[in-house]
Structure 1
Amino acid sequence: MSQLVTYNSLVGYQLLKRRNDLGVDQATVSASTGISQPVLSRLEKGAAVISTDQLFVLCKALNCKPSDVLKDVESVIDKLNGNEQLEVKTTKEANTAGAFLAGAAIGTALTFLLAKK
């Protein structure tokens, strides 16, 4: 049986990676963007649906372009294409289908699965 990953989770994970690469904590990003720390945490975990506005504001704070984040997400999806262990779905599809991976579980699963290829 495959595990489900949402597109939102993949976007959130890419934002989390970029924030960690910069060595910036959530409180700093929250203060500079006006997005509360709890909301930022949920976005990074894929537990909340990210809006276009939030994506642009967060990317500005993380010194990247939304297109760069989306390209990284597309790259991950391409690498996962045909993998029977992880399946990428919309949030609505994942909620309908049952439990899905979010947060740190995505990072762990992606690192493991993508390293195999």
Structure 2
Amino acid sequence: MQNGKTSYSAVLGVVLSNLRKSMSIEQGEMAERMGLSQPSYSRLESGKSAFSVDQMFQAANALDVSFEELNTRLIQNIRQLQANGIKVIQPVRGNTAKAQEQPNEVGQILAGAALGALIFSILTK
């Protein structure tokens, strides 16, 4: 996994998933608290969709944690991954000028359960 990559949104999704599960909140309930459909929230949590700043605040509120706490957890997880050789990147969006210049890295990005397992294994060392 030394050459692994993941996105900031995927890391945030794992952080939220872990917080949500520790509070025994189901995805459907979390989605409802954020004013989203369950499939929309699932795409965010799995890293398939990118979070907006508004959604980050909504997620913090839905979990009754401060935005600062959520951000701190996110930064800690990013640093942990980077310390273990995992690159955390911002994927190129399809509608940007950069998308025309760079090859598609989607297949190279870790998301969802794989990232969750990776973070869990790193944090439990």
Q: TM-score, normalised by structure 1?
A: 0.85
Structure showing greater radius of gyration is 2
- State percent identity of aligned pairs: 30
Contact kept in structure 2, 1:5 and 1:94, CA below 8 Å: no
Aligned residues: 115
Q: 1:30 to 1:97 in 2, by over 3 A?
A: closer
Q: Which of the residues 101, 106, 110 maps onto 1:101?
A: 110
Q: CA RMSD in A?
A: 2.1
Q: Any stretches of 5+ residues in structure 2 without a counterpart?
A: 93-101
Q: Any stretches of 5+ residues in structure 1 without a counterpart?
A: none
Which residue is 2:119 aligned to?
110
Amino acid at match of 2:87: E
Moved more, 86-95 or 68-77: 86-95
1:49 aligns with 2:50: yes
Amino acid at match of 2:117: T
Q: TM-score, normalised by structure 2?
A: 0.80
> Relative contact order, CA 8 A, sep 6+: which one is greater?
1
Q: 1:48 to 1:9 in 2, by over 3 A?
A: same
